[in-house]
């Protein structure tokens, strides 16, 4: 075994191989030192083999942590996943001794809540399953393991409830995972793109760090994917309603949460359509306002030398740059830099006559409305939906905005998330329910 492994990993200096002897037998072990936990190797192999309190071949047979590995073609992948290969009397066994670098007590950083649990999933899938099972102690919770990435060989675990999962969706997920041929998969976002979310305008999978959202999704019959090395889980299939629902909605009163839900839908409409409506009304249809308001807007724009769509693009470019800066900058200076930058740039642009005061208000409303959306990948998608509408408003006015919104609604109504209808805005999709528009996308 050792000669063959040495030929496979000829240039790997962290490959460790030993031939151990005691009074009864000789064994061979091989592992990659940088991937393995030395204490596990010592506790499960070196100590019992050298103490000889019990024959080592009997220990291996009765202890389930040692699994037989009969196929030599799997030796390479097994070693790269942090296993130790052990040869005892011409039989090969593997021992999981992977050393996982993990954050202790991970806290939610992206999806914060006020009264809900504050713990997040872990970058180690075993810890994540521990967290999920502690909240979902059901024997029906099933797990399957896959490997994705031709080079990274990243472990992916599927979680679902056998009673409520839709078998069509589950089979579709399995097929898509088996068809992934990208070399590297190291983040949940990469996996969602590889699963077919690359060219869609709106996300069809939720990426979440919250175990309570994961448990609720499993209970609703959804499939959850956990990726080794990422503290974010992928939930599928999903609806538009799921992206507008915050975890806090399950902890607050019914009418309060419904009011907040309506507020989020209004925020989505505002952030998509308000810049386009500003261009359309100011340039084409000022008669839609009362006369006093029309004069007020015209007065604020009297010092602006550019048409309305130029000032819209100036302000949107500034706000997009500030959002990107707030994400990329270190968290200790990001909020301060963006707040100061936004105040100074906005006031300076208005005083310099580049934009009107009304445009400052419109930009602020658009930015704040965008942050109301609770799921980040939907919030990012919504950010860019306003630009096609602005172009429609430039050429066709209010009619163009209406046609653009109609196209968005048709596109959303036509979308499917793993065969399930996507554009459901009032309630969840029952897991086993059929749909007239359900199609096989496998």
Distance between CA atoms of residues 396 and 402, nearest Å: 10
Distance between CA atoms of residues 206 and 277, nearest Å: 30
The three-state DSSP-derived secondary structure of 90-139 is CEEEEEECECCCCCCCCECCCCCCCCCCCECCCCCHHHHHHHHHHHCCCC
Distance between CA atoms of residues 421 and 382, nearest Å: 19
Element (H, E) at 159: strand 154-161
pLDDT of residue 430: 62
Average pLDDT over residues 81-98: 85
Distance between CA atoms of residues 67 and 85, nearest Å: 10
pLDDT of residue 102: 64
pLDDT of residue 130: 82
pLDDT of residue 407: 94
Distance between CA atoms of residues 247 and 254, nearest Å: 13
Average pLDDT over residues 276-289: 85
The closest alpha carbon to 94, from 75, 109, 117, belongs to: 75
pLDDT digits (tens, 9 = 90+) for 133-175: 888 887 788 888 888 888 888 889 899 988 888 888 899 999 9
Structure tokens at 412: 């959303």
Q: Give the pLDDT band of residue 436 (cuts 50, 70, 90).
A: very low
pLDDT over 90, % of the chain: 13
Higher per-residue confidence, 188 vs 106 = 188
In this predicted structure, the answer to whether residue 226 has a pLDDT above a threshold of 60 is yes
Backbone angles phi, psi at 26, to 5 degrees: -125, 135
Sequential DSSP letters for 253-303: -HHHHHHHHHHHHHHHHHHHHHHHHHHHHHHT-GGGS-HHHHHHHHHHTTT
Name the residue ranges covered by the structural domains of the chain. 1-96, 125-238, 250-421
Radius of gyration in angstroms for the set of CA atoms belonging to the chain, rounded to a whole number: 28
pLDDT of residue 442: 43
Distance between CA atoms of residues 247 and 262, nearest Å: 15
Distance between CA atoms of residues 260 and 255, nearest Å: 9
Q: Which residue has the tokens 């009163």?
A: 253
SS3 198: coil
In this predicted structure, the answer to whether residue 216 has a pLDDT above a threshold of 70 is yes
In this predicted structure, the answer to whether residue 71 has a pLDDT above a threshold of 90 is no
Distant-in-sequence, close-in-space partners of 30: CB < 8 Å, separation ≥ 6: 1, 2, 5, 15, 16, 17, 18, 79, 84, 85
Average pLDDT over residues 215-233: 90
Q: Taking the mean position of all CA atoms in its chain, how far away is CA 370? A: 18
Average pLDDT over residues 177-202: 86
Sequential DSSP letters for 210-228: -HHHHHHHHHTT-EEEEET
Higher per-residue confidence, 112 vs 13 = 112
In this predicted structure, the answer to whether residue 440 has a pLDDT above a threshold of 70 is no
pLDDT digits (tens, 9 = 90+) for 8-66: 776 677 788 888 888 888 888 888 887 888 888 888 888 888 888 888 888 888 888 88
pLDDT of residue 67: 87
pLDDT digits (tens, 9 = 90+) for 229-256: 888 999 988 999 989 988 888 888 888 8
The closest alpha carbon to 414, from 406, 423, 426, 427, belongs to: 423
In this predicted structure, the answer to whether residue 120 has a pLDDT above a threshold of 50 is yes
Q: Which residue has the tokens 């590889």?
A: 194
**Which of these ranges, 186-200, 342-356, 365-379, 391-405, has the smallest mean pLDDT?**
342-356
pLDDT of residue 291: 81
How is residue 251 annotated by DSSP? T
Give yes or no for a contact between 369 and 383, defined as CB atoms under 8 angstroms apart.
no
Q: Which residue has the tokens 């860019």?
A: 384
pLDDT digits (tens, 9 = 90+) for 395-429: 988 899 999 999 999 999 998 888 888 888 776 66
Distant-in-sequence, close-in-space partners of 77: CB < 8 Å, separation ≥ 6: 147, 153
Give me the chain's average pLDDT, please: 83
């Amino acid at each position: 075994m050792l000669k063959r492994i040495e030929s496979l990993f000829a240039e790997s200096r962290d490959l460790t191989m030993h031939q151990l002897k005691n009074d009864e037998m000789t064994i061979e072990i091989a592992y990659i030192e940088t991937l393995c936990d030395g204490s596990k190797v010592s506790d499960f192999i070196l100590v019992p083999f050298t103490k000889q309190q019990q024959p080592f071949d009997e220990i291996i047979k009765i202890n389930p942590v040692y699994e037989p590995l009969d196929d030599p073609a799997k030796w390479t992948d097994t070693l790269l996943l942090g296993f130790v290969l052990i040869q005892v009397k011409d039989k090969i066994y593997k021992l999981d001794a992977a050393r996982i670098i993990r954050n202790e007590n991970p806290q939610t950083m992206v999806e914060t809540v006020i009264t809900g649990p504050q713990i997040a999933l872990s970058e180690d899938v075993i810890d994540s399953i521990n967290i999920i099972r502690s909240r979902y102690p059901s024997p029906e919770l099933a797990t399957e393991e896959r490997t994705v990435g031709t080079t990274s060989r990243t472990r992916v675990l599927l979680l679902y409830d056998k009673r409520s999962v839709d078998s069509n969706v589950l089979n579709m997920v399995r097929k898509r995972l088996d068809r992934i041929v990208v070399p590297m998969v190291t983040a949940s976002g990469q996996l969602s793109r590889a699963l077919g979310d690359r060219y869609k305008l709106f996300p069809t999978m939720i990426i979440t760090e919250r175990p309570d959202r994961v448990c609720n999704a499993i209970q609703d019959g959804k499939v959850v994917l956990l990726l080794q090395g990422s503290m974010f889980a992928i939930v599928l299939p999903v609806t538009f309603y799921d992206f507008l629902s915050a975890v806090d909605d399950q902890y607050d009163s019914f009418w309060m949460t419904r009011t907040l839900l309506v507020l989020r839908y209004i925020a989505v409409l505002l952030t998509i359509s308000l810049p386009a409506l500003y261009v359309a009304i100011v340039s084409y249809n000022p008669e839609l306002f009362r006369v006093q308001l029309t004069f007020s807007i015209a007065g604020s724009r009297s010092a602006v030398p550019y048409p309305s769509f130029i000032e819209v693009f100036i302000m949107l470019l500034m706000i997009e740059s500030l959002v990107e800066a707030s994400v990329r900058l270190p968290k200790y200076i990001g909020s301060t830099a963006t707040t100061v930058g936004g105040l100074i740039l906005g006031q300076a642009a208005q005083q310099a006559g580049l934009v009107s005061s009304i445009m400052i208000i419109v930009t602020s409303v658009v930015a704040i409305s965008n942050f109301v959306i609770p799921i980040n990948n939907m919030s990012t998608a919504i950010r860019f939906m306003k630009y096609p509408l602005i172009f429609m408003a430039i050429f066709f006015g209010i009619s163009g905005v209406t046609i653009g919104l109609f196209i968005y609604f048709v596109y959303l109504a036509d979308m499917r998330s793993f065969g399930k209808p996507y554009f459901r805005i009032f309630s969840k999709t029952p897991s086993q329910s059929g749909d007239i528009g359900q199609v096989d996308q496998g």
